[in-house]
Amino acid sequence: MDRPEKCPTCGSEHFLFEKSHHHFLESGLDNVHLTNVEIGTCADCGEKVVSIPHPTELMRLIGESILLKPTSLNGAEIRFLRKNLHLKINEFAQLLGVDRVTVSRWENEHEKPSRAADRLVRLTYAVEAKIGEGIVEELRKNLRKEDIDSKVDFFVSLPLAS
């Protein structure tokens, strides 16, 4: 996102940026935090704008972080991976070889995916997103470890290299 010169709400030129922390709820996940991100604030109306350079790269990094997390995938993470592949729920279900209702139940946390389904989602994402060999190798190692069930937060430091 380009940095605005003026406030997008009131048009004021009293719009200043500073580097700060941003809880990136816009990702659809409640556990993604951006550090060192530029946040603009209007001195006149109080409007805040988060400047996110290289959003495609950011989403790729979040996807890779989800793949490599040591805990089971939750519904929001499965939804993030599916949406990051730009797939409709029925397309994703077809890739996985499951019913679309099953994916919906996972994403809405009405049903927890089995350990095998969790692995299938990760591996399918890795293939479809064309994840690099280094990440795939890390994923292979992680899949050989025992699952741990606890919450994991993701921190991404900006700016990203493109």
Report pLDDT digits (tens) over 44-81.
999 999 988 899 999 999 999 999 998 899 999 999 99
d(CA 139, CA 142): 5
Amino acid identity of 17? F
Name 57's Cβ contacts closer than 8 Å, sequence gap at least 6. Answer: 160, 161, 162
pTM of the model: 0.81
pLDDT tens profile 129-155? 999 999 999 988 888 876 655 566 667
